[in-house]
Amino acid sequence: MDNPEKKQLIKTAANLPALPGVYLFRDSNGKVIYAGKAKNLKKRVGSYFSRKQFDNNKLRVLVKQIRSIDHIVVDSESDALLLENNLIKEYKPRYNVLLKDDKSYPYICIKNESFPRVFSTRNPVRDGSDWFGPYTSLHMVRTVLEMIRQLYPLRTCNYNLSEVNIKSGKFRVCLEFHIGNCLGPCEGKQQAADYERNISQIRDILKGNIRGVREFLMKRMRLLAGSHAFEDAQLIKEKLDVIEKYQSKSTVVNPAMRDLDVFSFIDAGNIAVSNFLKVVDGAVVQSRTIEIRKVFGEDKADLLALVMAEIRSGQFTPAREVITPFPVNAGFPGVKFTIPRKGDKKKLLDLSTRNAGLYIKEKERRLSEQKREEPSERILKQAKEDLGLDRMPVYIECFDNSNIQGTSPVSACVVFRNGRPSKGEYRHYNINTVKGPDDYASMSEVVGRRYRRLKDEDKDFPDLVVIDGGKAQLGAAMVALRNIGLDEKIRVIAIAKRLEEIFFPGDPVPLYLDKTSSTLRLIQHLRNEAHRFSLMFHRQKRSSVFARSVLESVPGLGKRTVEKLYDHFKNWDAIAAASEVEISAVIGQARARKLAEYMTDREEG
């Protein structure tokens, strides 16, 4: 970052209001690379540019990429937390932590329409409808929907039941009406007010307010019994039995406890795991586990606050008391935070912590199984995702140069197919056009030669090319590809050894992969194999050069004689192992005698 740019950013930060809000850092392309919340925007944003040292390299790289700052002021710190969560989902900034659910959860939707339908889905859409969940399993969703349908007759058709359409007689009742599952609102046989009363009770059930629904039904059942409508009263009693049966499937904790939200937290190195339990009327009715991938070693209180924002933005949480294992940087209005030391609330927190621990053990088990499985497809799928490729890198080539102070410069290309070395396709290259130790020009020459030949022979290009080196070597390779019109057809990356940074063409910001990442291990394997193969060829070439100089120093043996020996025997080892008779057949008896005497004197000396 140039000094004028940094000064402008410092000035922008100094002019921010000392109020709660959210800030967005953008790069030179205007892309949001980080979203953060602040109790005091001025102090928080200014702290990024006032530091002389950074806690980690990623934070230093982030600050270096900032070119502009946006901010949004909100009323409270809790509003800032919720807004930050929404903006992270919207922009998916490169440097923000990643929240990962342990499952793809189903929801129950009450559709925003006349005579609302009630159904399940895994893809909630913000269209004004009411969404309840996420639920721990599809079985639970089916159980809830089955209970609702036993209690209330609802429509399942997707007709537009507007008042105009109903009055015009546009629709006819279907089989659901005739078997008693629907009361026929499409023909005006059920009034909107009556249907809405049922929907209101369904909302209460889905919010966990079963107590209110039960009390309403009990009161109605007594009224019907008092007026001697015993058959109707029996129907209400059957509905109450269904509700009791549904609630009995929840884990009962303590009936004296009302509504609670419980959040546990386990720090597991590069990730953290939080489990959420929802308690309604003394029963655990829902559980959800979230994994957080850390970026800058964030504080655990901030991470748990982010999880709470994710939960509260994604579902209805009426609880006015939240149980946590430590103080959290989140002030939700009207919510009391409790850190229990003993009693039933501590048991709830322990239960949640046990669930988080089981998630970590299950993840470790899956990873262990994956290691025992055929790894290639899994690794290549992960590489495709990590590197942003448009297809799996089934066919990869990697280049490395080797020379010592510019002598005997060579290059090597190794080939991996399906994540494994294909050694029969490895290629060595002598550097022909470069004089002296010029690694960039050597890389450009070899890459150009390799892919010009593939193009001329109409052969397939690799899915990915890896360059051993940094931005400069990557740039040299891209120049070579551009010269032959292949820069848009071949995906190229480079790996810099010092920090294992992954560079992409045209992007000054490197990608830092997790040290345990299968993608990073694949790239390192490619790089190390290319380096080994290149170094082996370089040593062979140096050895050959040395051997030729030794032969040329033998009295009576000139360059042409040495060339004859190499044309016939191919290498130094074969020449040294040949008998005097075999050598004399190539260069004559007199020269063979001189060479034999020289070799004898060399061995004795």
Secondary structure in 3-state letters for 462-517: CCEEEEECCHHHHHHHHHHHHHCCCCCCCCEEEEECCCCEEEECCEEEEECCCCCC
Q: Which of 518, 515, 522, 460 is nearest to 493 (CA)?
A: 522
How many whole angstroms separate alpha carbon 259 and alpha carbon 322? 9
- The Cα diameter of the chain in Å comes to 134
How many whole angstroms separate alpha carbon 124 and alpha carbon 567? 74
Alpha helices in 95-187 (DSSP H): 138-151, 163-167, 175-178
> H or E element: which one contains 87?
helix 77-91
Phi and psi at 265, nearest 5°, equal: -155, 130
Q: Which two tokens stand for residue 524?
A: 């390192």
Cis amide bond preceding 134, omega within 30: yes
CA–chain centroid gap for 183, Å, is 48
How many whole angstroms separate alpha carbon 373 and alpha carbon 584? 60
Q: Which of 82, 46, 83, 80 is nearest to 66 (CA)?
A: 46
Which residues are 501's β-sheet partners?
A: 496
How many whole angstroms separate alpha carbon 438 and alpha carbon 257? 75
Q: How far is CA 69 from CA 11, 16, 457, in A?
A: 11, 10, 51
How many whole angstroms separate alpha carbon 237 and alpha carbon 245? 12
Could you tell me if 171 and 165 are in contact, meaning their C-beta atoms sit under 8 angstroms apart? yes
How many whole angstroms separate alpha carbon 547 and alpha carbon 560? 15
pLDDT of residue 604: 41
Beta strand extents in 105-194 (DSSP E only): 107-110, 118-121, 130-132
pLDDT of residue 605: 38
pLDDT of residue 316: 56
Q: Which two tokens stand for residue 469?
A: 């080196």
* SS3 track for 550-595: HHHCCCCCCHHHHHHHHHHHCCHHHHHHCCHHHHHHHHCHHHHHHH
Set out the domains of the chain in order of their start, with CATH numbers.
3-96 (3.40.1440.10), 107-252 (no CATH), 260-295+318-369 (no CATH), 382-540 (3.30.420.340), 553-604 (1.10.150)
Positions in the chain short of pLDDT 50: 102-103, 248-249, 252, 405-406, 546, 602-605
Q: Following CA atoms 96, 271, 275, 347 in sequence, which dihedral angle do they give, to the nearest 10 degrees?
A: -140
Region class of 275: left (phi > 0), else alpha (psi between -120 and 50), else beta: beta
How many whole angstroms separate alpha carbon 500 and alpha carbon 502? 7
Q: Which two tokens stand for residue 270?
A: 């590069």
Q: Which of 289, 266, 278, 290 is nearest to 348 (CA)?
A: 278
How many Cα atoms are found within 13 Å in the side-chain-facing hemisphere of 28?
9
pTM for the model = 0.41
How many whole angstroms separate alpha carbon 413 and alpha carbon 437? 19
Q: Which two tokens stand for residue 172?
A: 């006819």
Q: Burial letters for 554-567: b for 16+ Cβ neighbours within 10 Å, e otherwise?
A: beebeeebbebbbe
Q: Which of 57, 372, 514 is nearest to 523 (CA)?
A: 514
Q: Which of 433, 516, 512 is nearest to 476 (CA)?
A: 433
Q: Which of 106, 163, 107, 104 is nearest to 130 (CA)?
A: 107
How many whole angstroms separate alpha carbon 328 and alpha carbon 340? 14
Residues in the chain: 605
DSSP annotation of 459: P
Q: What share of the chain is helix, strand, coil (3-state, %, to 5)?
A: 50, 20, 35
Q: Which of 470, 469, 493 is nearest to 481 (CA)?
A: 493
Q: Which two tokens stand for residue 38?
A: 């602040």
Q: Which of 259, 253, 373, 267 is nearest to 316 (CA)?
A: 259
What are the DSSP calls for 296-318, one per residue? S---HHHHHHHHHHHHHHHS---
pLDDT of residue 115: 93
